[in-house]
Structure 1
Amino acid sequence: MDRPSARRFEGKVALVTASTAGIGLGIARRLGQEGAKVVVCSRKKASVEDTVAALRAEGIEAAGRPCHVGDAAQLKAIVDFTVQTYGGLDVLVSNAAVNPASGALLDCPAPVIDKIFDINVKSALLLTQEAVKHMSRGSSIVFISSYSAFNPPAPIALYAISKTALLGLTKGLATELGPRGIRVNCVAPGIVPTKFASALVADPELEAAQRDANLMRRLGRVQDMAAAVAYLTSEDASYVTAETLNVSGGMPSRL
């Protein structure tokens, strides 16, 4: 995909979590290509350093530091780092997620339940609580959910249910932050063949089945998700809040 010509984020600062690979990196890159100063993070210092160097080599203003989103102190630290480095925060994209196990809901052990909801839901709210302290009217927040949120499938139902929770979190926070002029939206990606989703396309037959399950008859691309986030966080969507944009080639999107 060609580099976008729009510069909708000139003078803006964006923080994207889990942004050294996959969809998160694609989002950070797209916002940076449109003029944002971008802060990236992930758990590994080397990954952050490599990503910052790569983005800067592309002409993007970028900085970063390690952050384990399951640690509230580190969430505060990455927000503080963003504000100290670039003087503010205008766009927050909460992308971090885990799926440490698969199987039946009735067989899921308590530690796995705790980890999925701590990382996929609790951290998103705690991060927002820290971020909004520095966000002013016109700022924007996007949560990355999943097409599976609308109909949690076996054997990843628990992961999908955590993504369903983000749909509610989006609406709840949009209600609270709307009077302050801060918009909150959500993107629900379809299957994008990143490392995170590798099990879903592990062999040609499975990949073909996933491709044929949507109306477009293709898998999603990182660029598709990045473009959706760029729209929702830009002034082009200035009257859009509390919404979930299903970017999945036409997969069903009703609870």
Structure 2
Amino acid sequence: MFNLEGKVCVITGGAGSLGMAAARLLHEQGARLALIDLDLPALETVAQAAFGAVPAEVLCLAADVSDETQVRAAIARTVEHFGGIDVLFSNAGNFGTVAPIDDYPTEVFDSVLAVHVRGAFLMSKYAVPHMAKGSSIVFTSSVAATRGDPGVYAYITAKHALTGLMRVLSKDLAPRGIRVNAIAPGPIGNDFQQRVEDGLGAEIGRDGTEFFNEMIPMGRHGTAQEIAASVLYLASAQSGFTTGHLLMADGGMSV
């Protein structure tokens, strides 16, 4: 149903739980993968654990997605190895911190926007020339793109901006038959989310995990595998008439 046989899928943030869950699911559907992360040894270790042995059709690459030279090189290496790109899953992200505006570190704000927004822009800029009609771009946004919470200046701003970038890109690429969408996960049970909840908990003076669970109508965090299923849908031909869409995968948190 979600056949990706032979398709080349580029995934940034490949060493994270969502990146690797998507990698495994897309690979099960026949995709060939270029996995990109900052730390190549860590990426290779995670890939080894996920696949048992890194398959020949999985290419691991190191790149900082906010660095134009490194992005250009990673895309060139992918195209050299596989011949083209069919799916871009721009998933790399960082959280920053939680703090009042007068204490919020400017360098942290800049870093978060660089990874989420500049990173998605650069990955798209250099991948698109190698993508044909029927290709798909998926951004990892967040339920944070629909909210405003005290002190979460960098992350929430970046996710709002990323949704805007997705919508502009979807209009630009629609005549070329390339779809562009974003997923908006709610809280996921992983290390990234735990760091978020620890920071928020310290700011609001209560357990951050309980705080989020109370806001989610389904009463629990999602799993990386559940979010990866949404990525698969948007990457495949099953979403062939869907573009410019922010797919909420948040347990009803945004309702």
- Indicate whether the TM-score tops 0.5: yes
Residues 144 and 156, structure 2, Cα contact 8 Å, conserved in 1? yes
RMSD: 1.9
TM-superposition CA deviations, 1:84-121 (whole Å, max 9, x none)? 11111000011111123221234333322221211110
**What is the SS of the residue equivalent to 1:197?**
helix
Residue of 167, 170, 175 corresponding to 1:171? 167
- The alpha carbon displacement at 1:48 in A equals 2.3
**What is the SS of the residue equivalent to 1:50?**
helix
TM-superposition CA deviations, 1:191-217 (whole Å, max 9, x none)? 012111113455994323322311111
Q: Which runs of 5+ in 1 are unaligned?
A: 1-5
Q: Which runs of 5+ in 2 are unaligned?
A: none
Within-5 A mapping of 1:141-220: 141-202=137-198, 205-220=207-222
Q: Which amino acid letter does the alignment assign opposite residue 251 of structure 1?
A: M
Deviates more, 1:231-240 or 1:73-82: 73-82
**What is the SS of the residue equivalent to 1:230?**
helix
TM-score by length of 2: 0.91
Q: Which amino acid letter does the alignment assign opposite residue 208 of structure 1?
A: E
Q: Aligned partners of 1:252, 1:70: CA distance in 2, in Å?
A: 29
Within-5 A mapping of 1:55-74: 55-57=50-52, 61-74=57-70
Within-5 A mapping of 1:98-113: 98-113=94-109
**What is the SS of the residue equivalent to 1:41?**
strand
**What is the SS of the residue equivalent to 1:196?**
helix
- 1:232 aligns with 234
Cα 1:150/1:7, change in 2 over 3 Å: closer
Q: Aligned partners of 1:69, 1:241: CA distance in 2, in Å?
A: 23
Alignment length (residue pairs): 248
Residues 2 and 232, structure 2, Cα contact 8 Å, conserved in 1? no
TM-score by length of 1: 0.91
- 2:82 aligns with 86
Residues 193 and 201, structure 1, Cα contact 8 Å, conserved in 2? no
Cα 1:210/1:44, change in 2 over 3 Å: same
Cα 1:113/1:59, change in 2 over 3 Å: closer
Residue of 66, 72, 75 corresponding to 1:76? 72
Deviates more, 1:105-114 or 1:164-173: 105-114
- The alpha carbon displacement at 1:246 in A equals 0.8
Q: Which amino acid letter does the alignment assign opposite residue 160 of structure 2?
A: T
